[in-house]
Amino acid sequence: MSTINRLLIDTDILIDIAQGNPIAISRLSAEQKIYKPAVSVITKMELIWDAEVRKSSEN
Sign of the four-CA dihedral 27, 31, 36, 41: negative
pLDDT in tens, 5-58: 999 999 999 999 999 999 999 999 999 999 999 999 999 999 999 999 988 888
Are the C-beta atoms of 9 and 37 separated by less than 8 Å?
yes
For residue 59, pLDDT over 80 is answered with no
CA distance 29 to 48: 24
